[in-house]
């Protein structure tokens, strides 16, 4: 179980970092979402992985650490709020700059469409 | 009186919510009155807290009366009380300036401002590392909204970078927290300090990784060298009162480095002692150098001020990296000075920009200013203080840092960098002043009046610099005592263990 768990966290983190490094706000938002999932799983595992463990004293012989669950809950809530804010900000940036690049302009080779509009303007 | 440590957090929170409700929600004048009154109350509370912690030692506040290593605990010692007072003083200056008209450009300025104060105060007062994360998020989300307050393309672009970088930073923060919790089994800073000394050799690398990851996160908030690229654009595009308030935000990162890497990974931590120093010291000096070069190349007064913030962070972290009580005391003195003066300089740059028409605060010839004398006097005070030239407080702060270096080796790499950065700041500021005030055309001044409130706000913040010199004796004594308290982490740990008793 530990191996699969660690692999999942690692894969999510890798995908998240990859997407965060892209230049478009949409992929960055997706990347941050994946990163926060990875973080939540990681935090959850920081209290050791226990199967069928109760988080409340006196209900079972097999206990799991309740604190990481509280931490994950807080982290999820904060992550939601931040992602929502980032989505709104990305839409605002799209409206202000006319494109969805994080720098507000497309830095690469001008595409066919841009060259055409450039000639017209 | 026992609830004193939580008041600087609860009062801005309640005020922020109150300002959204009917009697205040749609009336800017009422919001202004309430916000200024609450800010004055915060100054009074922080002053009382400072006095109490100075006389009676550190105060702890167990939230919900849960015993200390298990529940969340707030800790007010001399440093956190001092920084809380500093926050509310800077907040008053920024707020008075905003009341002269900047809060009209968007909605909810005052509630957001209050929530920002709450986040900053919370980050200073918490004794629990997860709570530190939560307060970081509170202050960050308020700062995101304040940064784009008023709107515009520049602000949106700067905000996108700022928000994304800080969200990545928050993810790293949680990774570091998870690692440390997995290794140490606690989140209370004092408890972590105790547990860190007891770690076995196979767990030490993990704790070290967590600690260094935290250094990276706080370095991002404090704008340490590889992570500083968001700062100049974000600070120079924010509206003036917001940029002035942000002068305390980088200090929150520096404070967290000081707190975590002195209390948990301090000199007493055995194998984990001072893990940050080999990274922090060169990076801080490099930040100082890069900041100075960027200051020389700045095209406008706001960019220059933003880059001078980088310089001040470099000096501050150099002092913190020395990991000695006298260096920490120098860092504290320098923090008070640089926060208030940088804040004043951001406000001043905005006032100058408003009077120069299209040229704004760029260093180009433009029409003359309406009130060159009042602004010029303010500029010269700020410039002398920021550059660290003799009569004012920047000089004292730098002297304290230079005196804190021990031995020829440390002195040989810290003295030249600090002194040359001072020279660079003098060159950059004299270029700024001469082109802003002396190179002007014969056009009539812009007819926009300068509200007296703005002048008052700027001069109030600037007054800190001579006051810091006049009362230099008591303030350095206090800073010494505060630094001793921090570095004597065993005693502090014992205090925190008692919890709310």
Which residues are CB-contacts of B57 (< 8 A; sequence separation ≥ 6)? Answer: B77, B485, B495
* Global ipTM: 0.87
Band of pLDDT at residue A121, cut at 50, 70 and 90: very low
Does residue B258 share a domain with residue B338? no
CA distance B77 to B86: 14
What is the C-alpha to C-alpha distance for residues B288 and B307, in angstroms, rounded to an integer? Answer: 10
Alpha carbon distance B231, B158 (integer Å): 9
Domains of chain A, each with CATH number or no CATH: 1-97 (1.10.287)
Q: Is-above-0.80 flag for pTM? A: yes
Q: Taking CB atoms and an 8 Å cut-off, how many pairs form between chains A and B?
A: 89
Say if residues A28 and A19 touch (Cβ distance below 8 Å): yes
**Is B168 within 8 Å of A32 when comparing Cβ atoms?**
yes
* Structural domain total, chain B: 2
User: Is position B496 within any domain?
Assistant: no
Do B168 and B298 sit in the same domain of this protein? no
| Rounded CA separation B499/B501 (Å) | 6
What is the distance of C-alpha B121 from the center of its chain?
11
Domain assignment present for B497: no
> Residue B147 in contact with residue B234, Cβ under 8 Å?
yes
Determine the angle formed by the axes of helices B489-497 and B189-196, rounding to 10 degrees. 120
What does the block give as tokens for A94? Answer: 């799209």
Compute the distance between CA of residue B109 and CA of residue B99 in angstroms, rounded to an integer: 10
> Could you tell me if residue B102 is inside a domain?
yes
Residue B261 lies in a domain: yes
Tens digits of per-residue pLDDT, A51-73? 887 877 777 778 888 888 889 99
Structure confidence at residue B498 (pLDDT): 45
Question: What is the pLDDT at residue B70?
Answer: 78
Residues B301 and B168 in one domain: no
B-interface mutation test, from A74, A100, A101, most B Cβ less than 10 A away: A74
CA distance A58 to chain B (A): 18
User: What would the pLDDT profile of B359-387 be if each residue is shown by its tens digit?
Assistant: 778 888 777 777 888 889 999 999 999 98
The alpha-carbon gap from A73 to the nearest alpha carbon of chain B, in Å, equals 12
Shared domain check, B308 and B265: no
Q: Does residue B499 fall inside a structural domain?
A: no
Q: What is the pLDDT of residue B101?
A: 82
Pair (B464, B422) in one structural domain: yes
- Both B300 and B186 in one domain: the answer is no
The verdict on B461 and B404 lying in the same domain is yes
Q: What parts of chain B have a pLDDT lower than 50?
A: 490, 494-495, 497-501
Domain-located, residue B295: yes
Domain ranges, residue B397: 275-491
Find out whether B368 and B445 touch, Cβ atoms under 8 Å: yes
Q: Which residues of B245-270 are buried (b: 16+ CB within 10 A; e: fewer)?
A: bbbbbbbbbbbbbbbbbbbbbbebbe
CB contact under 8 A, B160 and A89: yes
Q: Are residues B359 and B246 in the same domain?
A: no
The residues, ordered by sequence, that sit 6+ positions from B223 with a Cβ below 8 Å of its Cβ are B230, B231, B250, B253, B287, B309, B310, B313
Torsion of CA B130, B132, B133, B134, to 10 degrees: 90
B279 within domain boundaries: yes
Task: Say if residue B391 is in the same domain as residue B478.
Answer: yes
Q: Between residues 162 and 181 of chain B, which touch chain A (CB distance below 8 Å)?
A: 163-164, 167-168, 170-171, 174-175, 177-179, 181
Specify the DSSP class assigned to residue B445: P
Q: Is the pLDDT of residue A17 over 70?
A: yes
Cα B176 to the chain's mean position, in Å?
A: 23
Please tell me the distance from the alpha carbon of residue B19 to that of residue B259, in angstroms, as a whole number: 33
Spatial distance between the Cα atoms of B28 and B35, rounded to a whole number of angstroms = 10
Picking from B274, B304, B330, the residue at the C-terminal end of a domain is B274
**Are residues B297 and B368 part of one domain?**
yes
Which pLDDT value is given to residue A1? 83
Domain end point (choices B274, B294, B310): B274
DSSP A62: S
**Do B241 and B281 sit in the same domain of this protein?**
no
pLDDT at res. B378: 92
Check: CB of residue B227 under 8 Å from CB of residue B216: yes
B333, B396 Cβ separation under 8 angstroms: yes
Token pair 């095209």 in the structure block, residue = B299
Which tens digit of pLDDT belongs to each residue from A71-95? Answer: 999 999 999 999 999 999 999 999 9
| pLDDT at site A120 | 46
Give the pLDDT score at B195.
85
Contact list in A for residue B64 (CB cut-off 8 A) is: none
Please answer whether residues B143 and B155 qualify as being in contact, where contact means their C-beta atoms are separated by less than 8 angstroms. no
Residue B440 lies in a domain: yes
Question: B421 with B292: CB under 8 angstroms?
Answer: yes
Token digits for B133?
């994360």
Residue B444: per-residue pLDDT: 72
Q: How far is B174 from chain A (nearest CA, A)?
A: 6
Question: Closest partner residue to B159 among A16, A36, A89, by Cβ?
Answer: A89
pLDDT computed for residue B100 by the predictor: 87
Q: Are strands B73-76 and B59-62 parallel, antiparallel or unpaired?
A: antiparallel
Q: Which residue has the tokens 């992985």?
A: A49
Q: Residue B168's closest chain A neighbor by CA? A: A32
Among the candidates B257, B274, B291, a domain finishes at B274
B215 and B281, same structural domain?
Answer: no
Tokens representing B172 are: 């790293």
Looking at the complex, does the CB of residue B470 fall below 8 Å from at least one CB of chain A?
A: no
């Amino acid at each position: 179980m530990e191996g699969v768990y660690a692999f999942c966290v690692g894969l999510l983190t890798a995908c998240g970092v990859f997407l965060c490094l892209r230049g478009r706000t949409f992929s960055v938002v997706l990347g941050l979402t994946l990163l926060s999932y990875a973080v939540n799983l990681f935090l959850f595992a920081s209290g050791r992985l226990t199967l069928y463990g109760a988080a409340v004293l006196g209900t079972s012989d097999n206990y799991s650490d309740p604190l990481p669950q509280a931490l994950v809950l807080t982290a999820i809530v904060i992550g939601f709020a931040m992602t929502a804010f980032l989505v709104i900000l990305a839409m605002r940036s799209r409206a202000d700059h006319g494109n969805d690049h994080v720098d507000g302009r497309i830095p690469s080779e001008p595409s066919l469409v841009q060259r055409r509009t450039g000639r017209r303007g | 009186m026992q609830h004193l440590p939580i008041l600087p957090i609860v009062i801005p929170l309640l005020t922020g919510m109150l300002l959204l409700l009917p009697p205040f929600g749609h009336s800017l004048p009422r919001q202004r009155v309430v916000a200024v009154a609450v800010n004055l109350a915060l100054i009074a509370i922080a002053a009382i807290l400072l006095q109490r912690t100075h006389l009676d030692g550190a105060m702890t506040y167990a939230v919900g009366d849960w015993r200390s290593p298990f529940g969340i605990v707030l800790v007010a010692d001399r440093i956190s009380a001092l920084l809380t007072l500093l926050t509310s003083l800077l907040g008053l200056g920024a707020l008075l300036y905003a009341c002269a008209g900047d809060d009209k450009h968007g909605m909810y300025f005052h509630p957001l401002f209050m929530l920002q104060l709450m986040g900053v105060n919370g980050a200073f007062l918490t004794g629990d590392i997860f709570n530190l994360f939560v307060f970081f998020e509170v202050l960050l989300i308020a700062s995101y909204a304040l940064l784009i307050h008023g709107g515009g393309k520049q602000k949106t672009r700067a905000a996108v970078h700022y928000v994304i970088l800080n969200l990545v930073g928050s993810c790293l923060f949680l990774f570091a927290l998870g690692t440390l919790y997995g290794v140490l089994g606690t989140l209370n800073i004092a408890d972590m300090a105790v547990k860190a000394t007891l770690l076995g050799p196979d767990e030490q690398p993990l704790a070290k990784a967590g600690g260094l990851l935290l250094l990276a996160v706080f370095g991002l908030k404090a704008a340490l060298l590889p992570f500083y690229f968001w700062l100049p654009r974000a600070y120079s595009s924010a509206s003036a009162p917001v940029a002035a308030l942000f002068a305390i935000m980088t200090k929150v990162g520096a404070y967290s480095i000081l707190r975590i890497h002195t209390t948990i990974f301090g000199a007493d931590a055995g194998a984990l002692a001072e893990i940050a120093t080999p990274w922090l010291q060169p990076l801080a000096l490099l930040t100082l150098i890069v900041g100075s070069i960027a200051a020389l190349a700045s095209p406008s007064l706001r960019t220059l001020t933003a880059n001078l913030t980088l310089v001040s962070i470099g000096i501050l972290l150099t002092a913190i990296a020395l990991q000695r009580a006298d260096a920490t005391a120098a860092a504290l003195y320098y923090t008070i000075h640089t926060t208030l003066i940088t804040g004043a300089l951001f406000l001043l740059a905005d006032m100058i920009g408003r009077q120069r028409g299209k040229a704004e605060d760029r260093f180009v010839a433009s029409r003359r200013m309406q009130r060159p004398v009042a602004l010029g006097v303010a500029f010269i005070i700020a410039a002398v203080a920021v550059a660290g030239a003799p009569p004012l407080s920047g000089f004292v702060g730098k002297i304290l840092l230079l005196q804190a270096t021990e031995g020829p080796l440390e002195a040989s790499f810290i003295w030249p960098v600090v002194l040359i950065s001072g020279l660079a700041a003098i060159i950059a500021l004299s270029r700024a002043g001469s082109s802003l005030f002396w190179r002007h055309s014969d056009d009539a001044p812009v007819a926009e009046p300068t509200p007296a409130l703005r002048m008052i706000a700027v001069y109030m913040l600037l007054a800190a610099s001579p006051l810091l010199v006049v009362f230099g004796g008591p303030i350095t004594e206090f800073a010494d005592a505060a630094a001793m308290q921090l570095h004597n982490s065993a005693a502090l740990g014992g205090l925190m263990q008692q919890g709310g008793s």
